[in-house]
Amino acid sequence: MTQLHKRFTDAQVKELIRRYLRKEVERKYIQEILLIGKRRFFSLIKQYRENPERFSITYHRRAKTRGISGSIEKNIIKELTVEKKLIEDKSVPLKSYNYSYIKDLLEEKYNQKVSLPTIIDRAKKNDFYLRKPKRTIHDREVLTNYVGELIQHDSSYHLWSPPAKEKWYLVTSLDDFSRFMLSTPPF
């Protein structure tokens, strides 16, 4: 639903209010025409009664709504710069980046709230954006008839956590029939 000042002119609203005040039209019909609630209706009546000649429904913003302060902008770029080193490190197997981390970091470290789309927008504008790779279609063909008949194992050796300074193995086991990952009891 668009705003009142975008759907009606001042003259149209004034005429409807005049008709209401002269008891020519009931309130509920005017509310239906203007698509407003009771509270907004009586707010307009009050404005009109205070100054009928200068009554207006036009609306002008006093400040920009979609801007962020320079300090927030600076901190976004600063944190994205730090993260870019991690993203560009070939020993870290990243296919995509979670920009929510930057959002959380700004809140914790600088006590600044920023929306996620704003952070992603700044990352794109300043060449920090890591595009998600196009996914390939992988049809899984079940080759077995029973659970546990065939277990597929997969292993990868990566630097999973850069602060660890060493690569680790990740071994997963998948039941071919159920497609569930198997887990081992804790040691």
Average pLDDT of the residues of the chain: 86
- Residue 187 has a pLDDT of 46
Give pLDDT tens digits for 18-40: 999 999 999 999 999 999 999 99
- Residue 110 has a pLDDT of 92
pLDDT over threshold 70, residue 185: no
- Residue 65 has a pLDDT of 72
Q: Is the distance from CB of 58 to CB of 3 less than 8 angstroms?
A: no
pLDDT over threshold 70, residue 1: no
Q: Is the distance from CB of 119 to CB of 76 less than 8 angstroms?
A: yes
CA distances from 119 to 85, 122, 167, 184 (A): 17, 5, 30, 40
Give pLDDT tens digits for 131-154: 777 777 766 677 788 888 888 888
Domain boundaries, the chain: 4-50, 70-125, 137-187
Give pLDDT tens digits for 94-136: 777 889 999 999 999 999 999 999 999 999 998 888 777 777 7
What global pTM score does this model have?
Answer: 0.46
- Residue 19 has a pLDDT of 95
- Residue 186 has a pLDDT of 58
Comparing CA positions, the residue from 23, 8, 21 lying closest to residue 52 is 21
Which two structure tokens, joined as six digits, stand for 147? 């659970």
